[in-house]
């Protein structure tokens, strides 16, 4: 079976360049896309600007404790987080998990165990009852492969356009507020930037709707948000 067109993206937040290099080699050998940040602030900014599928986080960062990073992240995102730290006390593990981490692995670590834990947190991030493929009219959204097709042909979406569509698919049939979408796609400081959202929705409709001006699936609830209608 061929690998997904869009393999999962992982963000590594660790100030040790040797660890980042080791993680990149290990993860990319399994097909993951890897981005790096050496400080907490850079990591949070990267996660907000281009949300990854998962985060591997060190607790001992130079500018902010990793536990605080998790708390900040959990204010606006449910991105799965694997802690990778030299701290091995029960208290540190409990504090990180209580703050919102999904799993905890101590350094030094084995590559096979790391990959198994990454696979596990990414699986848990998908609801068990979430279908791999969602269809609406002539549109097919393959969530496993992160591919969208219309009339059988792949539709090229930007990362933000796909992220917007993915949120609406997750809550299909329900209104998702502007603020919630902005928070998930751009982070908590972008909640008032509705003009960005309107631009991306316009582009998404142009690519997916037969008549973008009278959308069949990507509906607007005026002054509130957007709703995906699956007929």
pLDDT 10s digits, 29-44: 999 999 999 999 999 9
State how far the Cα of 3 lies from the Cα of 1, in Å rounded to an integer. Answer: 7
* CB contact set of 55 (below 8 Å; sequence gap of 6+): 10, 11, 12, 13, 43, 47, 73, 79, 80, 81, 82
The answer to the question of residue 23 being in a domain is: yes
pLDDT one-digit tens code per residue, 180-226: 888 777 776 766 778 889 999 999 999 999 999 999 999 998 888 89
Over pLDDT 90: what percentage of the chain? 54
**CA gap 145, 130 in Å, rounded:** 14
- Give the contacts of 187 (CB within 8 A, at least 6 positions apart): 44, 45, 47, 48, 49, 76, 77
Residues 80 and 148 in one domain: no
Domain identity same for 154 and 82: no
The pairing of strands 176-177 and 225-228 is: antiparallel
Q: Is residue 1 part of a domain?
A: no
Note whether 144 and 111 are same-domain residues. Answer: no
* Same domain? 116 vs 145: no
Q: Mean pLDDT, to the nearest integer, of 49-76?
A: 91
Contact between residue 15 and residue 38 where contact means Cβ atoms under 8 Å apart: yes
Give the domain extent around 183.
Answer: 133-228
Give 215's contacts (C-beta < 8 A, 6+ positions apart).
Answer: 205, 209
H helices present in the chain, as ranges: 17-28, 40-49, 66-74, 90-99, 111-124, 159-170, 178-186, 194-208
Indicate the pTM of the whole model.
0.59
User: Facing residues of 35 across strands?
Assistant: 11
Q: Of 124 and 113, which is predicted with more confidence?
A: 113
The answer on 155 and 223 residing in a single domain is yes
Quick check: 35 and 9 in contact, CB under 8 A? yes
């Amino acid at each position: 079976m061929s690998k997904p067109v869009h393999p999962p993206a992982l963000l590594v937040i660790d100030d040790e360049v040797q660890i980042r290099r080791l993680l990149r080699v290990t993860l990319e050998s399994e097909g993951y896309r890897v981005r790096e940040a050496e400080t907490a602030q850079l990591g949070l900014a990267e996660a907000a600007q281009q949300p990854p599928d998962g985060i591997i986080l060190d607790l001992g960062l130079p500018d902010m404790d990793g536990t605080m990073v998790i708390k900040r992240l959990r204010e606006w995102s449910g991105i799965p987080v694997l802690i990778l730290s030299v701290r091995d006390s029960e208290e540190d593990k409990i504090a990180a998990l209580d703050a919102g981490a999904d799993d905890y692995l101590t350094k030094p670590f084995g590559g096979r165990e790391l990959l198994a834990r990454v696979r596990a947190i990414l699986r848990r991030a998908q609801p068990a009852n979430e279908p791999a493929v969602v269809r609406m009219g002539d549109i097919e959204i393959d969530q496993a492969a992160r591919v969208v097709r219309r009339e059988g042909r792949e539709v090229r979406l930007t990362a933000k356009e796909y992220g917007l569509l993915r949120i609406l698919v997750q809550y299909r049939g329900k209104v998702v507020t502007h603020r919630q979408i902005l928070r998930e796609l751009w982070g908590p400081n972008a909640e008032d930037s509705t003009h960005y959202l309107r631009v991306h929705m316009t582009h998404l409709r142009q690519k997916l709707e037969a008549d973008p001006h009278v959308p069949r699936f990507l509906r607007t609830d005026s002054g509130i948000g957007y709703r995906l209608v699956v007929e």
